[in-house]
Amino acid sequence: MAKKVRKDGERKEEKKAVFEPPEFDERAYLVEELGKMRVALVFTFLAIPFGFIGAYLGDMTGSGWPGLVVALAGIPLGYVVMKGLFGFDMLAGKKRDILMPVAMFLVSWLVFAILFSNPPFVDNTEPSITDARVYAASPSEPSSGWTLYMYMGTSRDRPDAKLLYSEDVPKGFSVRAGDNLTILVRAGDAQGIRSVKGTWWTASNTKNYTEMPEVTDSLWRELGSRPYGIAGEHYYMLTIPDIPSGNVYYELVVEAMNGKTKTFTTEYIDSVPVSL
């Protein structure tokens, strides 16, 4: 310990500074911590409905800003809930005690908004079209059955998955006027398919609209097609009886339960040539 030397040679010890800790108020401490816990829980639970509203507004407007503006209104609402139900005044504490629950609310809101913006709550994806096929059959030759004439695929010259002519077509086979055509499309969606509609026409003919039903099991066996391969998908058929001469064009529109659509349209190169 440092000594202090006096003029007379005598030494006198310095006085020691004694630290006395303040009295610990356990009850006040528990009340404060309980209030912080309630604040965290209130703001986390408030983030759930505000996250749902944010996801809904984002789906309706295509932007996340309206949802964020509404979420900011949840901050004063949380303050009112804490003050009214629990008598806890957030503004009376430290700034850190105010910023922490606000930051937790915004992060939780973002998590729930993302969660509610995806399936199974919201489905913004288009339905899928993973296959399309054209079958032909001649009424004058019923024993020959259905022949796979074209199918959806890719090649070096056609990387966009359009219709290609089947390699299994018998030599010398051609679709003739008066034959029957059956066009199949394989479609699927996570929320389900509302409708599949087909339109077909020729260069000199008006457009013909029709609702495409699901392929029946009996026709599926008759066509000898492969299994679907992907769960949740199904084939839908468009039947064109007694086709006229010329090129046949068609458009297939798949509508999902969420209102989104997917279209498969033939161009001239993809049309079904009908010979006389």
Q: Domains of the chain (ranges plus CATH)? A: 24-116 (no CATH), 128-274 (2.60.40.10)
End-to-end CA distance of the chain: 119
Which residue type sits at 132? A
By DSSP bridging, strand 147-153 and strand 233-240 are unpaired
Mean pLDDT by runs of 10 across the 276 residues of the chain is 52 59 72 77 87 85 84 84 74 74 88 84 80 80 72 60 70 76 84 89 81 80 58 79 82 88 72 61
SS3 131: strand
120: cis peptide before it, omega within 30°? yes
- Find all residues with CB under 8 Å of 31, minimum gap 6, and list them: none
For residues 194 and 262, what is the distance between their CA atoms, to the nearest angstrom?
12
**H/E run at residue 157:** none
Spatial contact of 197 and 262, defined as CB atoms under 8 Å apart:
no
Token pair recorded at residue 226: 């492969």
What pTM was estimated for this model as a whole? 0.59
The per-residue DSSP string of 98-115 comes to HHHHHHHHHHHHHHHHHH
For residue 197, what pLDDT is reported?
Answer: 93
For residue 195, what pLDDT is reported?
Answer: 92
Where do the DSSP E strands lie in the chain? 3-5, 11-13, 128-137, 147-153, 162-165, 180-188, 193-202, 208-211, 233-240, 246-256, 261-265, 272-274
Spatial contact of 161 and 129, defined as CB atoms under 8 Å apart:
no
For residue 269, what pLDDT is reported?
Answer: 47
Phi-psi region of 9 (alpha: psi -120 to 50; beta: other; left: phi over 0): left
Spatial contact of 138 and 176, defined as CB atoms under 8 Å apart:
yes
For residue 253, what pLDDT is reported?
Answer: 92
Cα atoms in the Cβ-side hemisphere of radius 13 Å centred on 65: 1
